[in-house]
Structure 1
Amino acid sequence: MADPACAIAIDDLPDGLIVTDRFGRVLAVNRAAARLTGVDREAALGRDINDVFPFRDHDGREWWKCLDPDSGLCTRTRVPERPLHLPGGQELHVAARLVRERGGEVQRVTITLRDGGARARLERSRADLVSTVAHELRSPLTSVKGFTATLLAKWDRFTEQQKLVMLETVNNDADRVTRLITELLDVSRIESGRLEIHKQVVDLPARTRRIIAGRVAAGESEDRFRLNVATDLPETWLDQDKVDQILGNLVENAVRHGSGTVSIDIESVGWGVAVSVRDQGEGIEPELAPRVFRQFWRGNSRRRGGTGLGLFIVKGLVEAHGGTITVQRAPEGGAEFRFTVPTGTPDFA
């Protein structure tokens, strides 16, 4: 493309872009399109699209001939996305737009390309999410339905203690459903970039002590937790609810999947504050570390660990604060999760 600024602009696009004239002569190809198709974009310029990008549908028909820019109504501009193939076998999802002059005549055609493999992975991920949600909801809802139906039908046959046990079970299962829905909403906000952060001064050691106190109240031994806090911590402006969610998830993960003492270290690292949560369990193999923060990762399959969305959400919450999170083997064995959040002032809140 003649204008260097235009060339830079189309190269910044995440999707592949090909521009042709009305006859199919290639006018521009961006970097993403060259990567997806394997075609040298300099060699493609000025050539017929069928010679350099011979897209075919699943029945082997030539896409450009089916497109036929000069056919149809003069108001036709949008060509829906379709899965197409190149001779090499790779699948791409291809859409087009017909750019017309005022008289209705096609001036040029802009063609967008998306990786078919990436689309298939996204669809599988969504299918996994639906399957996971259905599975996780089935058990508590079945329990709630069963106990409420039994109580309504046979209320007078049960003692007060039996009724209390059943109602407590219903309440706990309702909490499970609420937690699952909250996780799904968090995943949706993280993936769509709509996660809102409301900052205030947060005392990280105090929030950590609160999380530990909650675990102890739930039945864990107080001796199982060890909190180490540096003396020179700077002021941190964070979203308190989301910090509680991060800390609570990491501590619960260490308790559920680890063993021995759970250590939490809080220290200053120059540009921010780092929090490390370590256990003394089996740990995570180095080759598995990149998978830990993916959706549906559960680690040890012998231990049921909920939906497998917790660490994915933790990573999203940390990054929404401008921080980072890593996982590695702890010095005493087990896993060590370490997240760092930046310090700030009211100006950045």
Structure 2
Amino acid sequence: MIAIDELPDGLIVADRFGLVLAVNRAACRLTGVRRERAVGADMSEIFPFRDHDGREWWKSLDPDAGLRTRTRVPERPLHLPGGQELHVAARLVREPERGGDVRRVTITLRDGGARTRLERSRADLVSTVAHELRSPLTSVKGFTATLLAKWSRFTDEQKRVMLETVNNDADRVTRLITELLDVSRIESGRLEVRRQVVDLPARARRIVEGRIAAGEPADRFVLGARHELPEMWLDQDKIDQILGNLVENAVRHGRGTVTIDIESVGWGVAVSVRDQGEGVPPELAPRVFRQFWRGNSRRRGGTGLGLFIVKGLVEAHGGTITVQRAPEGGAEFRFTVPTGTPDFA
């Protein structure tokens, strides 16, 4: 029983007559039926799955019917009497394996709500990518076609402006593709952290200097490092990405001074990025790090993936990140990463 309890999906094992032989913990959680009540009971009574037309799933399954080569029943959405939707599939275990009688039926259950949310998330991703790619690609196509067709009609200055626009739009597409690759690596658990000694105040200073070079006033930023900081082994590129995204978020969606505080805490180093804008309402705080969250501000742009990626990068370092109201108003994003040495094994 311990082995099947470790499975993430629900599992029910029944004999050919519908007598329940085993149920794992996930199946009990998904159906609300206790194991003691399920084992030894009849499938139709204890797990009365029905399709959208109200037909009883187990009776329509009829293990003894159909071709003797039948071993699998495709997954389909079914409902329990309370209205809960589950995705249910089955495998017919025959002895002998080829053409024998059905001895057992193994039934797998998956949360229909989770599957629907996943499919909606994927649809949102496709829609977002299509929308974000259309604008820069249309611009690139338009300017390159115009230049190719009417090159001699434009002055050098006009050509330079159009080529700069094409270059900026190409950068925008590259950033989008990078974000999508990051999302894919985070969701699949394939995000690699290449650790080295990183000077966090120096990296934050570099991010601020880049914003100032891009035209932001120098007095908009305040950078402070409290106490002596321990040696930090981090992925420098990913730390730059985290800091850059949080500062960009504060500049674009906040107001007033952007403050970056770095301090030593009990188990690592904490970095806070604060602005003086409208902030994030407490009831919305749990949603901030989800994919496609953009809040209610009309000034928000981008794909809505940035903070999701930041959270994934922080957690890949073994850290945590939160958002709350800053003391001066506005939003305060605070992430903490642990101290320690890299594992070279």
2:178 is the counterpart of 1:182: yes
Q: Distance in 2 between matches of 1:154 and 1:24?
A: 76
Code of the aligned partner of 1:9: A
Code of the aligned partner of 2:104: R
Query: Counterpart in 2 of 1:29?
Result: 23
2:17 is the counterpart of 1:15: no
Q: Distance in 2 between matches of 1:101 and 1:144?
A: 63
> 1:124-180 CA deviation, whole Å, 9 max, x = no partner?
111111111111111111111111111011100000000000000000001111111
2:321 is the counterpart of 1:325: yes
Q: Distance in 2 between matches of 1:283 and 1:311?
A: 15
Matches within 5 A, 1:324-343: 324-343=320-339
Structure 2 residue runs of 5 or longer lacking an equivalent are: none
Q: Distance in 1 between matches of 2:81 and 2:104?
A: 25
Query: Counterpart in 2 of 1:121?
Result: 117
Bigger drift between 136-145 and 92-101 goes to: 92-101
Corresponding residue to 1:133 among 129, 136, 140 = 129
Corresponding residue to 2:36 among 33, 42, 56 = 42
> 1:4-44 CA deviation, whole Å, 9 max, x = no partner?
xx2x3333332221111121100112222222222233112
Query: Counterpart in 2 of 1:244?
Result: 240
Q: Distance in 2 between matches of 1:220 and 1:299?
A: 24
Corresponding residue to 1:63 among 33, 47, 57 = 57
TM-score of the superposition, structure 2-length normalised? 0.95
Deviation at 1:75, TM superposition (A): 4.4
Corresponding residue to 1:204 among 175, 195, 200 = 200
Code of the aligned partner of 1:92: L
Code of the aligned partner of 1:320: A
2:19 is the counterpart of 1:54: no
Bigger drift between 100-109 and 86-95 goes to: 100-109
Give the secondary structure class of the aligned counterpart of 1:347. Answer: coil
Query: Counterpart in 2 of 1:76?
Result: 70
Bigger drift between 102-111 and 186-195 goes to: 102-111
Code of the aligned partner of 2:172: R
Q: Distance in 2 between matches of 1:89 and 1:292?
A: 31
Deviation at 1:106, TM superposition (A): 2.5
Query: Counterpart in 2 of 1:112?
Result: 108
Deviation at 1:73, TM superposition (A): 4.5
Code of the aligned partner of 1:84: L
Deviation at 1:344, TM superposition (A): 1.4
User: Residues 348 and 319 (structure 1 numbering): CA distance in 2 closer, same or farther, change over 3 Å?
Assistant: farther
Query: Counterpart in 1 of 2:253?
Result: 257
Deviation at 1:57, TM superposition (A): 1.7
Give the secondary structure class of the aligned counterpart of 2:343. Answer: helix
Q: Distance in 1 between matches of 2:70 and 2:191?
A: 38
Report the identity percentage: 87
> 1:226-275 CA deviation, whole Å, 9 max, x = no partner?
11012411111111111110000000000001111111111111211111
Q: Distance in 2 between matches of 1:207 and 1:49?
A: 61
Give the secondary structure class of the aligned counterpart of 1:95. Answer: strand
Q: Answer yes or no: is the 8 Å Cα contact 2:253–2:300 preserved in 1.
A: no
RMSD over aligned CA atoms reads 1.5
Code of the aligned partner of 1:37: T
Code of the aligned partner of 1:208: A
TM-score of the superposition, structure 1-length normalised? 0.94
Structure 1 residue runs of 5 or longer lacking an equivalent are: 1-5
Corresponding residue to 1:159 among 149, 152, 155 = 155
Code of the aligned partner of 1:301: S
2:272 is the counterpart of 1:284: no
2:156 is the counterpart of 1:146: no
Bigger drift between 49-58 and 282-291 goes to: 49-58
Code of the aligned partner of 2:90: A
Query: Counterpart in 1 of 2:89?
Result: 95
Q: Distance in 2 between matches of 1:166 and 1:252?
A: 26
Q: Distance in 2 between matches of 1:27 and 1:314?
A: 46
Code of the aligned partner of 2:88: V
2:303 is the counterpart of 1:307: yes
Q: Distance in 1 between matches of 2:94 and 2:334?
A: 55
Deviation at 1:99, TM superposition (A): 2.5
Query: Counterpart in 1 of 2:292?
Result: 296
Deviation at 1:348, TM superposition (A): 6.3
Deviation at 1:332, TM superposition (A): 0.7
Query: How many matched pairs?
Result: 343
